[in-house]
Structure 1
């Protein structure tokens, strides 16, 4: 399946909001949206897809996925959290994201300033970079497995059937990862409830 390498390249997996992309001044909502649109424009499935909208940001704020916004401006910390939300919302519900980031938001708001969100965010970015490499290798293995599985079939449409096998496999893996993430969210919730 030669075109899989091209598909991987089109996914924009390396697109991230890096700390150097975030200005050292607070931004208005339109500026936040523009930053995300510029950074993730090549990650979109089609031109109609929105990366971030005013409604989304307002819902994150109202849903307490972010610590309070001051004077309608978003700090560097807000942008890091919005970036994390953007990454998490592909697999988790808004409620699960809220549970996941609750402790991070609490740490950011602590008056002693002992928690450095930038350091934590850098850890997330490094891990995401490693995930891209693991994902690429995993895709190559899945393609090889799909090609091997389809060999015994005597069908003119082997390429189509191979794609169906690969889609089913990718969806299975996605579901396994999502379910494991949900279990971790449940563990966070249980730990918070017992404290």
Structure 2
């Protein structure tokens, strides 16, 4: 199997993702710029081609749509950070109202802190499961059976979907880039 160094580097980075946990977040109120900075830093592994993942307008819309609590005197706390992180991660996979319902469901099952920490663990596990075979340069890609409790099924399913989407996009991007370079090289050799 030919080694794709760009895909390998990407897989290595994603297999090592470790999201900030509830207890690691600020215990004080922050302004929207600080909230955006935390979210952008935490999700920098998602940024492809300097894509803007979240803006003030998006956060304002999430509040307006009832997806997260309103800020208090234009200040945000760790609960807001958690909502924006999870929404930003899931919006490429699910419709926004399904994300809202999913968050509400998981909070009812586990409470805010446990629901968020469970989501982080599930995402990290899914990323490792999807990207480690790339790092190990396996010729076949066997999905292992996962033992998931019923209360974690939704979180596990959505994080696996996100991880698979990221892998698919990167494979397409790297192969398209390789084809474009190959076609350009062929065109250059015909010009001589």
Give the TM-score, by structure 1 length.
Answer: 0.60
2:104 matched to 1:131?
no
Give distance in 2, aligned partners of 1:31 and 1:19: 16
Which residue of 24, 28, 36 maps to 1:25? 28
Structure 2: gaps of 5 or more residues: 142-164, 170-192
**Structure 2 counterparts to residues 95-134 of structure 1, below 5 A:** 95-103=97-105, 116-134=111-129
TM alignment of 1:106-185, pairs within 5 A: 116-137=111-132, 139=134, 144-145=139-140, 170=168
Give the CA deviation at 1:24: 0.3
- Counterpart position of 2:17: 14
- Give the direction of change, closer, same or farther, for the CA distance of 1:92–1:11 in structure 2 (3 Å limit): same
Q: Is 1:75 the equivalent of 2:77? A: yes
Structure with more relative contact order (C-alpha pairs < 8 Å, separation 6 or more): 2
Aligned-residue Cα RMSD (Å) equals 3.2
Distance 1:36 1:11 in 2: 17
Residues 54, 22 of structure 1: alpha-carbon distance in 2 compared, 3 angstrom cutoff: same
Identify unmatched segments of 5+ residues in structure 1. 108-114, 147-166, 172-195
Superposition TM-score, scaled by structure 2 size: 0.61
User: What does residue 86 of structure 1 align with?
Assistant: 88
Q: Secondary structure at the match of 1:73?
A: coil
CA shift digits 1:9-51 (9 cap, x unpaired): 354761523334410001111110111222223431012x112
Moved over 3 A (4+): 10-13, 102-105, 137-143
Structure 1 residues 12 and 37: alpha-carbon distance in aligned structure 2, compared to 1, 3 A threshold: farther
**Alpha-carbon separation, structure 1, partners of 2:128 and 2:15:** 13
